[in-house]
A and B are shown apart, each in its own frame.
Chain A
Amino acid sequence: MQALAVVVLLFLFFEVTQNMRSNLSRMNQDFGFAFLSKSAGFDIVQALVPYSTGSSYSRALFVGFLNTLLISALCIVAATFLGFLVGVMRLSKNRLAAGVATLYIEFFRNVPVLLQIFVWYSLVILQILPAPKNALAVFDIAYLSNRGMIMPLPIFGEGAIYGLVGLVSAIVGGLALVFWANYRQNSTGKPFPKFWGSLGLVIVFPFCGLALAGFPITFDVPVRTAFSFSGGLVVVPELMALFLALSIYYATYIAEAVRAGIQAVNHGQTEAAHALGLTRGQTLRKVVIPQAMRVVVPPLISIYLGITKASSLAVAIGYPDLIAIGGTVLNQTGKAIELVSIWMVIYLCISLIMSSLMNWFNNRMKLVER
């Protein structure tokens, strides 16, 4: 039976490729990825790695890929914070807080996300924010206008490597500290403020490193030009709109997942924690949330994947993500099958990596049955 299915599948695959080949050859086309090394010739509004119109198609696609990762990562972090906040608020004893949270969830979850993207972009950012001439200025070094947010860009000179060394050693030191603190708490029961301790390390070490090198940092401060600004670090309005819309929308789902998770924790647990003399904050952080996480993590996985996929709605407002740039490349080269394969492989990889990370995390969170 299974063998038959395999045969049928193989046959179909063969038919499809045959068909594709004959259709392509009728239009004097062939299948191949050689076009990737040709020069792209179009500009991209946001590139995290050096890119110019002379760069290759593969470079352009790489820029798009990084832009997809950037928007997904930003939205995942923001939606998680916001979602946890709103989810906890919704269960609050404070009627006002709970009401606000409910209203937030019901409103933003029920308006289509594409519409929210357009509203943020077209109505809020482009029309409410001022034109560059009247940009809102912060000490004349950073500006907010309908061309986006423009800030001084730090440029690391020679010797900045000491700062990096400081950062790396701080991370290693921080991990060691956490490990030691956990060990000590387990064996002696004495807690140690590990969060603040390691945060201190991460700030102090790089600072010392840079001080040692004499602070080799200069800033590229934006300056006004006839049209808007030049120089500096630019956060384009497309990124802002997409970030706001996706974070706010997906936070509603995370909030609901968090609420379900907290409600799943037996009330007896809270009472027992109080009886042991833990404060409300400690109860939430040390007793309720860790147990709630077992219920929260599985839906979180699919919400995070959803955010990554929804980031391709970027096309609608011209944020240059992988789909938008791939589409342009497809249009310039006509290599439809090739580009669709590239999209599929990349999205599949992102999804697989993310879900295996989350599964790993989920396993760690699981109740250890003894």
Chain B
Amino acid sequence: MKKRILNLAVALGAALLASTQVSASTLDDVKQKGFLQCGVSQGVAGFSIPDAEGKWTGFDVDICRAVAAAIFNDPTKVKFTPLSAKDRFTALQSGEIDLLSRTTTWTMSRDTAMGFMFPATTYYDGQGFMVRKSLGVDSALKLDGAAVCAATGTTTELNLADYFKAHGMKYQGVAIEDSTQLRQAYDEGRCDVLTTEQSILYSQRSSLKQPDDHVVLPEIVSKEPLGPMVRQGDIGWFNIVKWTAFAMLNAEELGITQANVEEMKASTNPEIQRVLGVKNADGTAPGFGPGIGLDEQWAAFIVKGVGNYSEIFERNLGAQSPLKVKRGVNALWKDGGFQYAPPIR
């Protein structure tokens, strides 16, 4: 009897130890599992939403796929965990997911005290407001006294408070966790205003009962640099995600696309050769992939798997999508935008 209890206790203790310890190397974990566990949002058209066949699509989703492609040369080796804005941090903190790619704003507290890190800004956004056209409101400064719906646990909620305070206006803040519930509550008239990132507003508007009855106000009231997020304490993993994002931008800059990536390997441009991991005439390899624990051809895998930055953008948010978002500030630096990736060298 005694022995049995002791055995039980030892087994229990071992199980606890094993289950609660977040492994030191996320890359090893992911390789061992054979797939990447990626946290995304629960259904925001353009960013992450399952299509009719249940396949996840969207800009944030493709970032996950790009990381999987870099590791496995196979963009399908991802499992997605849909998370509400409120649950996303606990999921990453507890090790339930390896990477969070979920319209998450890079802020100081998240990047420092909360124990996370932002490898890159994949989408520069800002907070806006949407109202019913019938209200006849044409500026956010005329929203004094309005009821405003926002998602729980977001920067949105905080910016909202700041903006109204700064302009001496009052509001009734209705905070709802689930984004579908939130949209419904606005649609059914619980609030006069829906507020979130402008890009998400357009996406949410497209899912309303009568999209044309609603208008997005011109004001942008905050900076929302959105990007993937990882845990502190694993610099190797941080670098992999960071350089996956940069590889997509560098590929766009160099004109490497999903369609031409194989031909490009024959290019004589040394920059392209470096990015694609092409060996020199003397057989020496550039070595950038191995430098982050990946294959020599990691960047080629990414572009082959999901495309360069521009392709991901246009497919999910831009011209080829129903949302028709313009590149705007998300254009490359060469074209007057903010997207600027350090060189691969």
Contacts and interface: CB of A to CB of B under 8 A. Distances in A.
B157 A43 contact: yes
Q: Top 8 closest A-B pairs, CB basis?
A: A331-B153, A43-B173, A334-B114, A27-B115, A126-B188, A53-B161, A318-B176, A8-B9
A146 B190 contact: yes
Given A324-B152, A327-B86, A41 B16 contact: no
Given A11-B9, A23-B22, A126-B189, A317 B181 contact: yes
Interface stretch (A67-75, A220-228, A294-302): A220-228
A364 interface: no
B145 A225 contact: yes
A238 B172 CA distance: 13
Main secondary structure of the interface of B (DSSP, over half): mixed
A27 B233 contact: yes
B189 A330 contact: no
Nearest to A318: B176
Given A5-B5, A146-B190, A12 B161 contact: no
A42 B181 contact: no
B255 interface: no
Interface string B213-239: 000000000000000000111000000
Given A43-B157, A228-B145, A316 B181 contact: yes
Interface in A32-49: 41-45
Given A29-B114, A330-B89, A331-B89, 11 more contacts: A4-B2, A8-B6, A19-B20, A26-B22, A43-B175, A45-B175, A324-B177, A328-B175, A330-B153, A332-B153, A334-B113
A239 to B, nearest CB: 12
Given A26-B233, A324-B152, A330-B90, A122 B160 contact: no
A147 interface: yes
B185 interface: yes
B206 interface: no
Nearest to A130: B189
B17 interface: yes
B81 interface: no
Interface in A303-331: 315-318, 320, 324, 327-328, 330-331
B145 A226 contact: yes
Contact of A12 (B1, B2, B12): B12
B184 A16 contact: no
A328 B158 CA distance: 11
Contacts of A126: 185, 188-190
Contacts of B157: 42-43, 328
11 contacts: A4-B5, A11-B9, A19-B17, A43-B160, A43-B173, A127-B189, A226-B142, A226-B144, A227-B145, A318-B174, A327-B152
B173 A45 contact: yes
B284 interface: no
B171 interface: yes
B192 interface: yes
A111 interface: no
A15 interface: yes
Interface string B16-27: 110011101000
Interface of B: 1-2, 5-6, 9, 12-13, 16-17, 20-22, 24, 85-86, 89-90, 93-94, 109-110, 113-116, 135, 142, 144-147, 152-153, 157-158, 160-162, 165, 170-178, 181, 184-185, 188-190, 192, 231-233
A165 to B, nearest CB: 36
Contact of A334 (B24, B115, B188): B115
B89 A334 contact: yes
Given A8-B5, A23-B22, A328 B153 contact: yes
A241 to B, nearest CB: 11
Contacts of B144: 226
Interface string A7-19: 0100110011001
Nearest to A147: B147
A83 B73 CA distance: 63
Contacts of B188: 122, 126-127, 146
Contacts of A11: 9, 13
Nearest to A5: B5
Contacts of A334: 89, 93, 110, 113-116
Contacts of A166: none
Contacts of A332: 109, 153, 158
B173 to A, nearest CB: 3
A20 interface: yes
A266 interface: no
A320 B153 CA distance: 12
A132 to B, nearest CB: 9
A318 B22 contact: no
Contacts of B190: 126, 146-147, 237
B181 A336 contact: no
A331 B85 contact: yes
B192 A318 contact: no
Contact of B114 (A15, A320, A333): A333
Contacts of B90: 330, 336
B158 A42 contact: yes
